[in-house]
Amino acid sequence: MSDFFKNKVVAITGGSDGIGRGLIDLLIPLGAKIATCGRNQDKLYDLQVRYAGASLHCVVCDVSRYDDCKQFIDSTIKTFGGIDLLINNAGISMRALFEDASLDVIKKVMDVNFYGTVNCTKLALPSIIERKGVVVGVSSIAGYRGLPGRTGYSASKFALNGFLEALRVELVEKEVNVMWVCPGFTSSNIRNVALNQSGNAQGESPMDEGKMMSATECAAHILTAIEKKKRTLVLTFTGKRTVFMNKFFPGWTDKLVRKFFFKQGELVT
Ligand SMILES: NC(=O)c1ccc[n+]([C@@H]2O[C@H](COP(=O)([O-])OP(=O)(O)OC[C@H]3O[C@@H](n4cnc5c(N)ncnc54)[C@H](OP(=O)(O)O)[C@@H]3O)[C@@H](O)[C@H]2O)c1
């Protein structure tokens, strides 16, 4: 990779685990200045210990809370002088049929995945415009194709894509690149902590995490796409096939998706 990221200030939400952590592991050796946040202080502390001496600013922040986001973005600007790139990565998932799920589950997923991005983007935008920077949203294949058991998650990612697509056009003349990246299944903690019908972490992954793309590989694809000023990025063969099939054969894709996620009428994935 070139020196595109050298000395750039990159604010990444949810950098203490999974794909966000993968981004940090790759960006620090490239000489970027990193700000990140998450809800769990211990995980952020581990990150700080691992990268003691690096330009790393960690803030405890729940992105669904505007005041937390303000503290994260304001303190990042104070620490590093501005923000070049904002990667809205923090996200949670769910696994419950809509007929069983408490409405609080849908609201919580929406608050984190959609409003978390809206909050941080609103707060960081003046600095990003000044620096002709980049806004990234980590979306999902579920942002192109609704997935069963994940009604709230799919809705939050469709909303994210629409928000960023509109913002992209608003900012064209300000030379800010707005993009959304859609990982396919990627090995991470997201399925362990996905909310069940009552809003508690389900505590297990229903899938074989070992067969998925690694978070580091996913992060490397995201960084390449940012450097190439891409509009969108869709990852994994299955992810690309799903988006393609859904665009041209949506009815057939309904059947394939049903077959993948259900066995004998039960949601299994
Ligand atoms: N893994 C996949 O298969 C996959 C596929 C498509 C899209 N994605 C997307 O990729 C993004 C990252 O997911 P991941 O797989 O890396 O998940 P992960 O391993 O569970 O990591 C999520 C990160 O976000 C943080 N986070 C969660 N809720 C937060 C909140 N309210 N405020 C601030 N930070 C929060 C977590 O830290 P705390 O828990 O300490 O807050 C953690 O650092 C998400 O937007 C997800 O939707 C993932």
**Domain locations in the chain as residue ranges:** 9-242
Predicted confidence (pLDDT) per residue in 94-148, tens digit? 999 999 999 999 999 999 999 999 999 999 999 999 999 999 999 999 999 999 9
Rounded Cα–Cα distance for residues 91 and 109 (Å): 8
Predicted confidence (pLDDT) per residue in 66-87, tens digit? 999 999 999 999 999 999 999 9
Quick one: fold of 9-242?
A: Rossmann fold (3.40.50)
pTM equals: 0.98
The phi, psi pair for 259, rounded to 5°, reads: -65, -35
Rounded Cα–Cα distance for residues 213 and 193 (Å): 19
Counting from 1 in the atom list of ligand 1, the atom nearest the Cα of 22 is 16
Q: How far is the CA of 79 from the centre of ligand 1 (A)?
A: 24
Q: How far is the CA of 248 from the centre of ligand 1 (A)?
A: 30
Residues whose beta carbon lies within 6 Å of some atom of ligand 1: 13-14, 16-20, 37-40, 43, 61-64, 89-92, 112, 138, 140, 183, 185-186, 188-190, 193, 215
Neighbours of 214 (CB within 10 A): 15
Q: How far is the CA of 191 from the centre of ligand 1 (A)?
A: 10
Active site residue 153: yes
